[in-house]
Amino acid sequence: MASCDDIIGIVVEPGLKRLEAVLAIARRGSFRAAALDIGISTTALSHTIGRMEAELGVRLFNRTTRSVGLTDAGRDFVARVTPALTEIRAAIDGVRAQRQTPTGLLRINASVQAGRAVAPLVLTFLHRYPDMQVDLVTEGRLVDIVAEGFDLGIRPADLVPRDMIALPMGQPQRHAVVAAPKWLALHPAPASPADLNPDHCLRVRLPNGALLRWPFEKDGISVPFDAKGRLTVDEAAIARAAVLDGAGIGYFIEADVAEDIAEGRLIRLLPDWTPARPGFSLYYPGRRNPSAGFTAFLAMVRG
């Protein structure tokens, strides 16, 4: 009787990998980006698709020097193959779930801050399960983890898509409003949000493209604030560098500037007005046959 390894070896064959390659290109719209996703060179990926198109006798992609797009035949092919591959992945997960020792690859998508928070847990997981691999991708944009091929996502609880199963992890986090000493030498420190000049405050673009309304709160009174500074950023490290340079007042997750505050490079403002925000949540779609590695990682988060 075939073992779990034998069955997986039979299913995960070159033909399946070629189909995964087609879907990766269709999803990313780029041979280079798709090659990075699936871990092969762009040249190897191009040759793989070329051979597949030659065998099928039809082009799946229109290629130019600037873009890649599906042909009509390619769109039909992807539409029909996608649900079939979903079923195959579920079957593979079902077989792997029978393993006593977790093995395989776990793909996690997280914000930069969430990635930093989960990194110690990932390292513990890898030490505990030496046959597991983890691909931790951090980025600002909020992605569709199912469409992008991730097993799990980690974001602040208020950004988790409603159709996902969410598992809280970590404690609530505070915000911090800060400015550099040299900026405060030229401008009075605000005593309340009403004292803030919107033109002096950096604007923050959220992963969904919206501009952050700075959420102030005190004694149960909520005071949203619209920053209107000349600089708009979507990455905390860039905002921090700008504020350190004296560009104005910034609004951060406390952990991103805690060391600067402690060492006097940044001065905290309005501490009584910055409420705690929801902590991070790990989230995932409902799965019929979760792999042993997936289940083991969730158990560690719960623990």
Domains of the chain: 1-96 (1.10.10.10), 104-168+279-303 (3.40.190.10), 173-277 (3.40.190.290)
Q: Are the CB atoms for 281 and 157 separated by under 8 Å?
A: yes
Q: Is the dihedral of CA 299, 115, 33, 125 positive or negative?
A: negative
**Can you give the pLDDT at residue 1?**
42
Predicted pLDDT of residue 9: 39
| Nearest one of 235, 178, 179 to 206, comparing CA atoms | 235
Res 264: pLDDT: 96
Give the pLDDT of residue 201: 97
The model's pLDDT over 77-86, given as tens digits with 9 standing for 90+, comes to 989 888 888 7
Residue 165 is predicted with a pLDDT of: 93
- Look at residue 6 and tell me whether its pLDDT is greater than 50: no
Sign of the CA dihedral 288, 290, 295, 301? negative
Residues 134-166 have pLDDT tens digits of: 999 998 788 889 888 899 999 988 888 888 999
Rounded distance, CA 226 to CA 232, Å?
A: 12
Q: Kindly tell me if the per-residue pLDDT of 245 is higher than 80.
A: yes
pLDDT at 242 over 90: yes
pLDDT at position 4, please? 41
Q: Which tokens go with 25?
A: 């290109």
pLDDT over 90 (residue 93): no
Q: Per-residue pLDDT for 203 more than 80?
A: yes
Higher pLDDT, 10 or 46: 46
Q: Could you read off the pLDDT of 26-75 as tens digits, one per residue?
A: 888 889 888 888 888 888 888 889 888 888 888 999 987 777 889 999 99
Q: pLDDT tens digits for 220-229? A: 889 999 999 9
Q: Which residues pair with 222 in a beta bridge?
A: 217
In the predicted model, what is the mean pLDDT of residues 188-205? 95
Q: Is 194 exposed, middle or buried (0-12, 13-18, 19+ CB in 10 A)?
A: exposed
**CA diameter of the chain:** 79
Q: Return the structure tokens found at 231.
A: 């600089």
* Residues belonging to the chain: 303
Average pLDDT value over all residues in the chain:
86
The strand pair at 173-179 and 213-218 is best described as: unpaired
**Whose CA is closest to 239, among 221, 212, 279?**
212
What's the pTM value of the predicted model, to 2 decimals?
A: 0.59
How far, in Å, are 152, 226, 249 from residue 74 at the CA level? 28, 46, 50
- Tell me the three state secondary structure of residue 69: strand
pLDDT above 90: residue 239: yes
